[in-house]
Structure 1
Amino acid sequence: MARSDPELSRICTHLWSIDENRLAPGADYEINLQGGTKRYWKRDQASEPLFTFVSREALEKKTYRTFIALLDNYEKETKVPETVTPQEERENWAFLNAIVETKVMKEAHKYLVSKGKTDSNEDRFKRHLYKIWFQLYRRTRDTKVSDSSGFEHVFVGETRASSGGRPNAVLGFHNWIQFYLQEKAGNVDYRGYLMNREPEGPHSRFLTIQFSWKCENKPEGSTFIGTSPEFEVALYTIIYLLGNHGDNHVQVDQYRVNIKCYHHGGNMGTSFPIELD
């Protein structure tokens, strides 16, 4: 069994502790877990939505508001070319400008500079973040179009056509805010939590779940709940820039998690948490 990296665990837990914009369970959000399921079960174990409520005021915080503005900027299907309009580019920069002013991102920046992984100049750091998260690339070799980005994959989600008449697969989609908004819009069907990961209840802050998105399936997906956009960007950026491909066993507050991270050339391919036993 891989052991947690003590130094990496310390910075991850520190970022968690200073995440001022993290939502409080019970006050800012509540979830309805309903039934447990397993990865390949077809039966829907949850007749009601996952989220009972999320505070509207909390989602009006600047980093949330600028994050939400990005969620409709992408084509869902892979192999469909992405374009970035001038307005969308302004929205990308508005989000980065908002998050670099938070304690979480300032600490992440300082840590990465100490490791020689990014520039100490804030503007150059933001350009580095832009390249990692927003630069477009081809997700698969069998397409010639730029159809993806790190931000789209991790935070928004994508779909890929499956062969043999099977349903399309949901790729990425590891963010609770996107899940809540898509569920509220009627596009997501929560199908239950994975029973191999016993959740904490209606105030859970980490979940492994099964769901469908516009009738396309995600048999297993894991996500933090209530964390701010800047916390997740900071966490995944650190893992990415440290060059830690694949498994990264760390302690984040009370949670033992494996932060999976894969590069796609010089960009973020994917990053997401898996809770460890």
Structure 2
Amino acid sequence: MPSSPVRSLLLAAAMLTLAACHTMKAIVPPNFRPPENPSNTVDLARKALDNATPCCGSFADLSYQDMLPWQPQRFSLDKDSPVANLNGDRSYFLAFRLPAGAQMPYTVAMKAELNGRWLSSSYLFAPTVVLLDDAFQPLHAEDIQLCEYMGWTSETTGAFGKFKVEDDKARYMVVYSSTKQQKSQTYWEQSPSNFSAEAPVKMAAAGSFKIPHGPDGVLFVGMQNDTYKKAIGNAVCDKAQPGNGVISTIRQVVTTDILGEGKDKKDPSKKENGS
């Protein structure tokens, strides 16, 4: 049998171990903790854009040295990127020459990646596309709708959009984010509204399901390839409308009487006679 002092030391060590285990249950690692101020990240990005000095005030002032990539290519739009003030919209931008040999019409594909460590504090750079003629005059402008697709790889995961080039007068393309786009949101199937220290990776079944747009971020731009075409074709753009149930859907879709109800409807007397 251990002596009394040794027994006391063992008992004290056991008590400390139990206390430590209890404390560890209440500790959440930093990478699992939700941000203290979810809006702080995008607010800082907006402040950086507001403080930047625009390099250009018209489409003719931009440089069009880069050709539109033949497949989507990664571009980072951030505080180190040039800023333009186009039609009253202050934004980071990309400017491209359009391929002269491309068969019309063709599709330009885009993908925005979540900007932020946490879904609850993330935002997206939502693009606005402007086509220009050879005199740098706008032919068409459009805020691109982004739709979420979660693929098996990072290449096929993100917020996807597309733009069709149909005007043979188009020579240049500018990608930026209009004020309207920066104030808008993109639907996201995973809701960040139920993040907590107790259940940091649990997603809510109900919530806003919206990811806000911001002034900067990573954007893939280029001619649409098969990978992006498939992702865009399967992307989710909005919350699905509630249905009326499986049986109701089958009744609406199937024209044959596989449910065995046609005879009863035609001969109601059989129901009354119990046959």
Instruction: Provide TM-score, normalisation by structure 1.
Output: 0.22
Instruction: Provide TM-score, normalisation by structure 2.
Output: 0.22
